[in-house]
Amino acid sequence: GAGVSQSPSNKVTEKGKDVELRCDPISGHTALYWYRQSLGQGLEFLIYFQGNSAPDKSGLPSDRFSAERTGGSVSTLTIQRTQQEDSAVYLCASRPGPTNEKLFFGSGTQLSVL
Amino acid sequence: GDSVTQMEGPVTLSEEAFLTINCTYTATGYPSLFWYVQYPGEGLQLLLKATKADDKGSNKGFEATYRKETTSFHLEKGSVQVSDSAVYFCALILQGAQKLVFGQGTRLTINP
């Protein structure tokens, strides 16, 4: 596609359930990022992939959060045993390579944990 | 650690008013600085950037100057339009680093 695609656009889940959020980066972009945007907060960095490896996962809030990337393309962010404080917009971004500074963002997944 | 601080929002202005959104940063190294904009229902997109001291980034009538002495990168526009209503994020990345650090965002509303 032409841009970064995220699915679903909205997800409502019950506390304690697991959720998976998907990101399709722009074709050929080797670097992929996940950020979280909470109400009244800035963009909180979660994890960075270069290819299929994650050299920086320092922003993952707890061991309930994990992410993987396969084939140097699609990435999945998984949140286990969701809590109400996980409610936020989860943003994915990609860029062509590690030395190109411009990020291309998807429209995000709005996660609501009831 | 590295951080970005933006002026508190929301900001509400009338069309054709002058806009300033303040941004200051703290960085352990020598960063590049950015402004990203998020229009309603869309993803963030790069508005402008500056990579060294005294550089001025500009786009769509917006400008920001990299001020190393005041560690600032304030966003300005001389005459705003209703279509400028959006959330604006200031951000930095250190040389050789991979992670963009964002401020908390400033919501701007322009009334006709």
What single string gives the DSSP state of each residue in B21-90? E-EEEE-SS-EEEEEEEE-TTS--EEEEEE-STT-EEEETTEEEE-BTTTTB--EEESS--GGG-EEEEE
pLDDT tens digits, one per residue of B11-24: 999 999 999 999 99
Tell me, what amino acid is at B38? Q
Which of B47, B66, B100 is the best substitution to test chain A (most A C-beta atoms within 10 A)?
B100
CB spacing of B46 vs A3 below 8 angstroms: no
Which of A103, A104, A110 is the best substitution to test chain B (most B C-beta atoms within 10 A)?
A103
Closest CA to A108 of A1, A9, A4, A28: A9
Which chain A positions have a beta carbon within 8 Å of B105's beta carbon? 37, 42-43
Q: What is the pLDDT of residue A98?
A: 66
Which chain A positions have a beta carbon within 8 Å of B32's beta carbon? 101
Q: What is the pLDDT of residue A46?
A: 96
Of B7 and A81, which is predicted with more confidence? A81
Find the residue in B nearest to A38 (Cα). B104
Closest partner residue to B104 (CB to CB) among A3, A4, A41 is A41
Which chain B positions have a beta carbon within 8 Å of A50's beta carbon? 98
Q: Confirm if B31 and B2 have CB atoms less than 8 A apart.
A: yes
CB spacing of A56 vs B98 below 8 angstroms: yes
Q: What string of pLDDT tens digits covers the 114 residues of chain A? A: 579 999 999 999 999 999 999 999 999 999 999 999 987 678 999 999 999 999 899 999 999 999 999 988 999 999 999 999 999 999 999 998 766 678 999 999 999 999
In Å, how far is A81's CA from the nearest CA of chain B?
27
Mean of pLDDT values over B3-16 = 92
pLDDT tens digits, one per residue of B21-31: 999 999 988 89
